[in-house]
Structure 1
Amino acid sequence: MGVTGNPTSINQGTRTKGGIGESTLRPDGILKVTGEFAYSSDMWHEDMLWGHTLRSTVAHAEIVSIDTSEALATSGVYAVLTYDDLPTSVKNYGLEIQDTPVLAHGKVRHHGEPVALVAADHPETARRAAAKIRIDYRELPVITDEASATAPDAILVHEGRDDHHAGHVPHPNIVHRQPIVRGDADAAAARADVVVSGEYVFGMQDQAFLGPESGLAVPAEDGGVDLYVATQWLHSDLRQIAPVLGLPEDKVRMTLSGVGGAFGGREDLSMQIHACLLALRTGKPVKIVYNRFESFFGHVHRHPAKLWYEHGATRDGKLTHMKCRIVLDGGAYASASPAVVGNASSLSVGPYVIDDVDIEAIALYTNNPPCGAMRGFGAVQACFAYEAQMDKLAAELGMDPVEFRQRNAMEQGTLLPTGQVVDSPAPVAELLRRVKARPLPPERQWEVAGEQADVRALPGGLSNTTHGEGVVRGIGYAVGLKNVGFSEGFDDYSTARVRMEVIAGEPVATVHTAMAEVGQGGVTVHAQIARTELGVAQVTIHPADTRVGSAGSTSASRQTYVTGGAVKHSCEAVREKVLEMGRRKFGTYHPAWATADLLLEGGKVVTDGGEVLADLVDVLEDEAVDIELEWRHRPTEAFDLRTGQGNGHVQYSFAAHRAVVEVDTELGLVKVIELACAQDVGKALNPLSVEGQIQGGTIQGMGIAVMEEIVVDPKTAKVRNPSFTDYLLPTILDTPTIPVDVLELADDHAPYGLRGIGEAPTLSSTPAVLAAIRNATGLELNRTPVRPEHLTGT
């Protein structure tokens, strides 16, 4: 990994081992590798019951009747709950729009919707009892696409909408609509020498985290409940759970348990309310753990999309205009669809300078599975389409595709179609230059002189379907633009409590936040920040819970920026307090206490010249310092609902990929040989973790390109492949070489100059792989994922 650029300097504690800029190891790494890490599904409680959710077998139907008598009579069953058993008048929840019922009432709107709950003394007893519940459905026509959703006689997925988006959409089956208009795209089109257009289809992707949804609810003596759960946003869960239970928030105490991956799929609720309801009804702890089949129905997915794009350019390769229409399928409930629409529309131009645009993005209500947050959040779908358009334009103009992109690349100071100025480094052209300049991997790597061919390097791999006949190489490029943090005026903040004290004769810092550690490595970074700012070697990370203020969601590439910023802010306040205590205690003995820029370093108070003034143990021996503070990044604003203008995003991130693929054109098989990435990260707080995040995002984008898709029957809206047998994921045998080139160009508005990094590589890896396959085959390939039949015509 190469690291270059001009990062912001770090003034405090730069010599404390394990601080910012070092590749420190994860505290949970060894436990996870050896299988000793405790995930939420591993939790246990004495006298614990098991909960199970009965789900609908149809996608759209009236519920005529529910008979639970046989289930209740089953030995070992303690409770069976339906909608009528919910304890309060609040029976719906939702991230933004509260349209999701805790349990279905009156009708079901998607395949797998929760209808009833069972608590029993054994998980199999709970499952058998749930199977005895008799539900009489009267099936209704299904809404599955834009045509059926917006037809004049269309059935409404949600009758009587009253959310704040309802007044801004042309039909009740549209969740949200965001246009962006700037300049005059029609007039600019008339000036173009070349105009290309395309229709693109993006499949539904699952987050496919390896740890299924799970949690343990324990009823408390005060009438409240303690919930131990794998989630992405403790306080958002709390806000939705407490009203349904009829409890004040301080009686719903939440603690983060081990999370086996997330990628957006844990931002919505799954089993949280259900476990709490069963625990409060039975008076016993209740554990719920989904199996893989249930997990496919228990969380939202990435929005499938249909996209239409038109671009124009002059003969010398300058973009003239862009028009696009993006239709996202949000499924049965809103989830994060409004925000995904905002991202898809505002980032639909990509990292290019285009003055004249006409953009529309919408999300539909349908009877398909609910869709919401997933890594990339609307920008992934747009990037797939606009990067295909860039290759089309370059081909029409007879230009190198990288040169064409560089000629139109945005840079710092570029005015976006929303009217927002990019006010931090935007090294788009440089990222493209770097990936193109890398040496290409050797051709025909499967040929080993004098030895048997290495079939692992061939399309089809260990299936040994080919020995190289009909295999051709392709190379493709792509670059993407992703926002960082919550946008459109959302009050995006985080909270951190930092305590500094003496334990066993040594200064120790404790960092307490509600940040959900889902595998991204935040617990490592928080310790690095504390060591850097407080100059202590020993840092303890307190378990995340709701006993401290909100940290927001572990999503939108925001946690290092926002919660890291909160940790830094609180550490700075603790440091100033410690220094003030030192001045009061020792200041009369040395004039530097009053005049010098003092640091905490190596457990001591030192001057900026390195002179030791006091030991931290002596400063803190009589009093610990404990400070909790909120930290906010600079504000954003909502996009205008007519023109799309507004400073909607706080920061942007950029990544570029070069994909090298081998394609067996006779069998329709693809082997991705290399996915080289260059990305600007602002400041690599932990270079090893940065590289891992970039490589992980790259593979997730590759999965979209060549294998991952939830297949929904267009006639019944039922999911056809809810298992890892039929939903294909990249394995280590599918993983190519991923060389990473990291730039560190500081964003002066961000802590340490850092830039959120987790999502950007997921954007550009997908279109880079598609571009490489097109380059190898000459086919248009306007949908993801690419399947063998798309390459062979069968």
Structure 2
Amino acid sequence: MTTASKTETDRTSASTGRIGDSPLRPDGTQKVTGAFAYSSDLWHEDMCWGVTLRSPHPHARIRGVDVSAALAVPGVDAVLTADDVPGLNRVGLEHLDQPCLAEGVVRHQGEPVALVAADHPETARRAAKKIVVDYEVLPAVTDARRALDDDTPHVHPGGNLVREVPVRRGGPVPDAPVVVATEFEVGMQDQAFLGPESGLAVPDGEGGVDLYVATQWLHVDQQQVCRVLGIGPDAARLHLAGVGGAFGGREDLSVHVHACLLALRTGKPVKMSYARDESFFGHVHRHPAWLRYEFGADHDGTLRYGRAEILFDGGAYASSTGAVVGNGGTLGLGPYRFPVVDVVARGVYTNNPPCGAMRGFGCVQAAFAHEALMDSLAEKVGVDPLELRARNGMTEGDRNITGQVIDSAAPVAELVRRVRDMPLPPERSRGGAGIGTVRDAAELFSLPGGAGNTTHGEGVRRGVGYAVTYKNIGFSEGFDDHSTARVRLSVLGGEPVVSVRTAAAEVGQGLISVEAQIARTELGVTRVVVEPKDTSVGSGGSTSASRQTYVTGGAVRAACEAVRARVLERAATMMGSADLRLDGDKIVSADGEVVAGLVDVLGDDEIDETVEWRHRPTQAIDPETGQGDAHVQYAFSAHRAVVDVDVELGLVKMVALDTAQDVGHAINPDAVVGQIQGGSVQGMGLALMEEVLVDDGIVRNPSFTDYLIPTVLDTPPMRIDVLEYADPHAPYGVRGVGEPPTISSGPAVAAAIRAATGRPVRRVPVRPEHLTG
């Protein structure tokens, strides 16, 4: 196996746009100039506007809803409640436990209760305020750690446990000469995508509807829409509108069914578009988590066992909590070898906001705990923390804690040593434990607090921290994870043209570029058209789990191969020779002679192939032991964070955030680097500032004024080392890219803060009061 290491400084953009090139994104110029049409820009000449009335209470019984005053408002076309749902009033990704409109009870603040359609959005909002809901407020379950106690009320009739995953291997936990333990807490993080939820539903006048919406999973959305509307899939056609980011927050429904209900009731197109505060209630968040870990080791730091208890707060409805628990359990001890394992992961219902998919999917929370514990172990046995990770890190051929063999590259030792060997940023001044005093305005801006002029450097200390992790790629535990691609080769204007159609959502990650690159590579055609995404072709699965380049890329390649086979078959008939190959857009004989062009073979005809493609199967884990080949593929990353901390004020300044990651094979090198940069900043945000604050079930900061996300001024320089160890089981050797950096960056930041302050830092995001006093 060979490897190539690339950095930002030696990337080059190529114009051919094939695999390994970095062509300009077709939507890039439009996005940076503001010309790109997002879902919030949708418009129809005779449309009306939809608004949702939401519960102000985390838990309450609905004793009655009076909509008469709202209906009397001039300009109002319709007011709907649960009684107006024509089909099954239930939605959900894994469990149909969530009503489309609240039915008898509300289980979290912000739950949809009624809908209004009017000729102007302000009219619809005024009418919604006139709806009178008679609530009987009920006690709310808001402490996930007590959700399973015998005296805690049930959020749902079946109890508060969503899923429990035990992972046990190697027999009873043995004695060990060195034992370290920790508890960790991770706050609720928002996906914080820049484009709030929006969509446009257009009735067809025959009982059907076309829905244009920003989403991650067109076909699952379609299934849920059809179930609630009581219509078949042919009557509900979904089209991907421009997506302003996703990160997991668009896997669940938001405006989808509500807009369609109003459109079918009014007979008019209906647009719904959330403001930022409503967006905080309109999608799921990252699960808050409580973790208790214990590692046993020999005196030299070799791990003997790992024990963990992981609790995820799933909120009022299940969403993807079950799968998050599965990931947290099966991957929860990190990329290390453990002879004996005793892990249990649980997800519970509460009356807090629903939580579900977010980049990193259960591994993010666990990584904070297992990386903090590795640092504790290194300190206790007197071993360098990076050498400890290298000594215990997985290698190809090892088994992970579910017993699955890691059958492609697992370069843990190389990754941590690469980040260790990167040059450190220079100190700002000489001498002492601190940085010294500020000498000019430029230095002031580089200190914690920045322009706030809160410190002149007297109490500032520098810390360096490391973390390494791994993440599954694709859906797991026996899920039928597949994608469909339709590829058509034809002649247009005297030259060959390829059309690629999939239902795989482009959410900003660059999939449309990848699809075109694959088609150009496989068919040798320069002109490639990636068709709009909709449900007219088979499912592309969800744009999540870092899976689309692998799975939809695999489908596009397979469809292109089928097209190429038919081209060569036709050429063989025309030429009377079977030993032909495609070289660019030319047909070449065995001796290298060009015998025809694609245009000659196609003529006025076209070749069209549709392929449904699957990767190798996974299996459900054993419910008692958690053993099994649960995952398709694993991706590994490591980070080094450098921070300056004012230990007197509790302020943190990121100085550097460097990383090394194995990506298998970089289909689009520039896009790979962009994904690593974005994921790293998102993990850093959770470590330092991002938290949805929930007090007794009430969200206290539903705005970007109070929910803080990193800006360009918070983002430090990044050195990025990209390794390419091809996975022999994956198309082109690719490995998912987008999630691993989100997992390892945050724990590295926390480790750097611990190094700077000497404080334990057992909760994120880190607050000033954790670092002072």
Normalised to the residue count of structure 1, the TM-score between the two structures is 0.94
2:378 corresponds, among 394, 412, 425, to 394
Residue of structure 2 equivalent to 1:91: 89
Amino acid at match of 1:462: A
Select which of 659, 663, 669 maps to 2:651: 669
Quote how far apart the aligned CAs of 1:573 are: 0.5
Paired residue secondary structure (2:305)? strand
Greater CA drift, 18-27 or 490-499 = 18-27
1:729 aligns with 2:729: no
Question: How has the CA–CA distance of structure 1 residues 280 and 694 changed in structure 2, closer, same or farther, with 3 Å as cutoff?
Answer: same
**Cα distance change, pair 402–582 in 1 and its aligned pair in 2 (3 A):** same
Cα displacement (A) at 1:185: 4.3
- For residues 574-585 of structure 1, what are the structure 2 equivalents within 5 Å? 574-585=563-574
Distance 1:694 1:463 in 2: 30
8 Å Cα contact 1:16-1:536 kept in structure 2: no
Bigger shift: residues 621-630 or 201-210: 621-630
Q: Percent identity?
A: 63
Q: Which residue of 1 aligns with 2:623?
A: 641
- Which residue of structure 2 aligns with residue 599 of structure 1? 582
1:622 aligned partner, one-letter code: D
Q: In 2, Cα distance between the equivalents of 1:183 and 1:106?
A: 49
Match of 2:419 among 435, 447, 468: 435
Residue by residue over 1:234-264, the C-alpha shift from the partner in whole angstroms, topping out at 9 and shown as x without a partner, is 0000111101101101110010000000000
Matched-pair contact (CA < 8 Å) for 2:579–2:590 = no
Give, as a single letter, the amino acid of the residue that structure 1 aligns with 2:77: Y
Tell me, yes or no, if the aligned pair for 2:205 and 2:267 is still in contact at 8 Å. Answer: no
Specify the alignment match of 1:538 in structure 2: 527
Contact 2:202 2:263 in 1 (8 A): yes
The answer to whether the 8 A contact 2:471-2:740 is kept is: yes
Is 2:436–2:458's contact at 8 Å kept on the other side of the alignment? no
Distance 2:332 2:761 in 1: 20
Structure 1 residue matching 2:694: 3-state secondary structure: coil
Residue 685 of structure 2 is matched in structure 1 by: 703
The answer for the alignment partner of 1:463 in structure 2 is 452
Matched residue SS, 1:383 = helix
Cα offset, 1:569, TM superposition: 0.4
Deviation at 1:155, TM superposition (A): 1.5
Kindly tell me: are residues 566 and 175 of structure 1, through their superposed partners in 2, closer, same or farther at Cα, counting changes over 3 Å? same
Q: How many residues align?
A: 760
Matches within 5 A, 1:642-791: 642-713=624-695, 716-791=696-771
1:524 to 513, 518, 537: 513
Deviation at 1:457, TM superposition (A): 1.5
What is the aligned-residue RMSD (CA, Å)?
A: 1.6
- Deviation sequence 1:149-175 (CA, Å, 0-9, x none): 22223211111x3xxxxxxxxxx2010
- What displacement does 1:703 show? 0.2
Aligned-pair distance for 1:606? 3.0
Asked if the contact 1:185/1:323 (under 8 Å) is kept, the reply is: no
> Could you tell me whether the CA contact under 8 Å between 1:456 and 1:733 is conserved in 2?
no
Q: Which stretch of structure 1 is more off in the superposition, 36-45 or 452-461?
A: 452-461
Residue 66 of structure 1: aligned partner: 65
Structure 1 residue 624 and structure 2 residue 609: aligned? no
Distance 1:106 1:274 in 2: 18
Give the whole-Å Cα distance in 2 for the aligned partners of 1:104 and 1:595.
65
Q: Determine if the alignment matches structure 1 residue 421 to structure 2 residue 405.
A: yes
Secondary structure of the corresponding residue to residue 4 of structure 2: strand
The correspondence for 1:282, drawn from 259, 266, 280, is: 266
User: Is 1:491 aligned with 2:480?
Assistant: yes
Residues 340 and 450 from structure 1, CA distance in 2 versus in 1: closer, same or farther, beyond 3 angstroms?
closer
Q: Tell me what 2:171 maps to.
A: 184
**Corresponding residue number in structure 2 for 1:19:** 18
Q: Who is 1:10 aligned against?
A: none
Secondary structure (helix, strand or coil) at the match of 1:568 reads helix
What SS does the corresponding residue of 1:150 show, helix, strand or coil? coil
Q: Distance in 1 between matches of 2:151 and 2:437?
A: 64
Bigger Cα displacement from structure 2, 217-226 vs 486-495 = 217-226
Taking the TM superposition and a 5 Å limit, the aligned residue runs for 1:22-101 are 22-88=21-87, 90-101=88-99
**Match of 1:735, as an amino acid?**
T
From 339, 356, 364, the counterpart of 2:340: 356
Structure 1 alignment gaps of length 5 or more: 7-14, 162-171
Q: Deviations over 1:552-597 (max 9, x none)?
A: 0000000000000000000010011111121222x13xxxx4225x
Distance apart, 1:604 and its partner CA: 1.9
Tell me if structure 1 keeps the 8 A contact 2:145–2:311. Answer: no
Note if contact 1:3-1:741 (Cα within 8 Å) is conserved in structure 2.
Answer: no
Counterpart secondary structure, 2:532: coil
**Any conservation in 2 of the 1:56–1:115 contact (CA below 8 Å)?**
yes
Q: Is the 8 A contact 1:16 1:532 kept in 2?
A: no
Determine if contact 2:403/2:628 at 8 Å carries over to the other structure. Answer: yes
Query: 1:265-344 residue pairs with structure 2 within 5 A?
Result: 265-344=249-328
- How big is the shift at 1:455? 2.7
Return the offset for 1:207: 0.2
Show the counterpart of 2:113: 115
Change (3 A) 1:676 1:395: same
Q: Distance in 1 between matches of 2:121 and 2:339?
A: 59
Contact 2:54 2:112 in 1 (8 A): yes
Distance 2:693 2:134 in 1: 26
Residue 451 of structure 1 and its aligned partner are, at CA, apart by: 5.6
Does the CA contact (< 8 Å) of 2:486 and 2:559 recur in 1?
yes
Contact residue 200 and residue 307 of structure 1 kept, 8 A: yes
Q: Residues 387-440 of structure 1: CA distance to partner in whole angstroms, max 9, x if unpaired?
A: 000000000011110001101010001111111110011001000010000010
Question: Could you tell me how far 1:450 is from its partner in structure 2?
Answer: 8.4
Q: How far does the alpha carbon of each residue in 1:292-331 deviate from its partner, in whole angstroms, 9 at most, with x for none?
A: 0000000000000000000011011100101100000000
AA aligned to 2:565 is E
Q: Secondary structure at the match of 1:573?
A: helix
Q: Distance in 2 between matches of 1:350 and 1:450?
A: 44
Q: Distance in 1 between matches of 2:542 and 2:145?
A: 34
1:735-781 Cα shifts (integer Å, max 9, x gaps): 01111101100110000001011100001001000000000000001
**Residues 343 and 58 of structure 1: is their aligned pair in 2 closer, same or farther, counting only changes over 3 Å?**
same
The 5 A counterparts of 1:129-278 are 129-159=127-157, 161=158, 172-186=159-173, 188=174, 190=175, 192-278=176-262
The match for 1:412 is 396
Amino acid in structure 2 at the alignment position of 1:763: I
1:377 and 2:361 correspond: yes
Equivalent in the alignment of 1:168: none
Over 3 Å counting, the alpha-carbon distance change for 1:46 and 1:406 in structure 2 is: same
* TM-score of the two chains, using structure 2 as the length reference: 0.97
Structure 1: distance between partners of 2:439 and 2:135: 66
Unaligned runs of 5+ residues in structure 2 are 7-13, 430-434
Shift of 1:510: 0.5
Residues 575 and 600 of structure 1 are in contact (CA less than 8 Å); yes or no, is this contact kept in structure 2?
no
